Amino acid sequence: MSRTLAILLLSGAILASGPAAADADFDAALEESRGLAGQLGSQLGAALKKELSAGGPESAIGVCRQVAPDLAGQLSRQSGARVARVSLKTRNPLLGQPDAWEQSVLQNFERRLAAGEKPETLEHAEFVTEPAGRSFRYMKAIPVQPMCLGCHGATEAMAPAIRERLAADYPQDRAVGYSPGQLRGAFSVRKPR
């Protein structure tokens, strides 16, 4: 076989496997990211339900303040990805502040929600090349649940003790005024590729 023919055959094989390999890489990254977001969501939900049952909404504030970042940090260390919760209406600007990509996706989620999509189905994933390199990025919407309203609902409907605790713990809080089914934010996963 001539050298030119061998190069052409090899090039054809690479091109033929390229899209399939890219699809497999995307599918694997998507599955991993969905798993990480799902773990954070289920662990956080379980901790919130437990604390709400034990001490009500005021004691559940500590779950979102301390337990949620700890869970996200643990998942991040275990997976090598950055796992977080972000929102356009942050409660704590030091945690949960979306970057430009996350802001764009959250705004897209809001448009999709307004167009009638169910909040629990909203997700977005893609490979992104950024100054730090290539990453797989994923976001899954966090819809407001009825149990969230004690701390994230209308301020005037909150118990005075909750308003006081939120004011003390989160002086720049913007994460109030929600009703069930609205978009509270999203789980965000970024993993270098």
Confidence of residue 5 (pLDDT cuts 50, 70, 90): very low
- pLDDT the model gives residue 6: 35
Residue pLDDT, tens place only, 76-127: 999 999 999 999 999 988 887 999 999 999 999 999 999 999 999 999 999 9
The structural domains of the chain, with segments of one domain joined by +, span 18-192
pTM: 0.86
DSSP 8-state secondary structure symbol assigned to residue 144 = P
172 contact partners, CB below 8 Å, separation of at least 6: 90, 92, 93
DSSP designation for 94: T
Under 8 Å between Cβ of 106 and 86: yes
CATH number corresponding to 18-192: 3.30.450
Q: Is the pLDDT of residue 2 over 80?
A: no
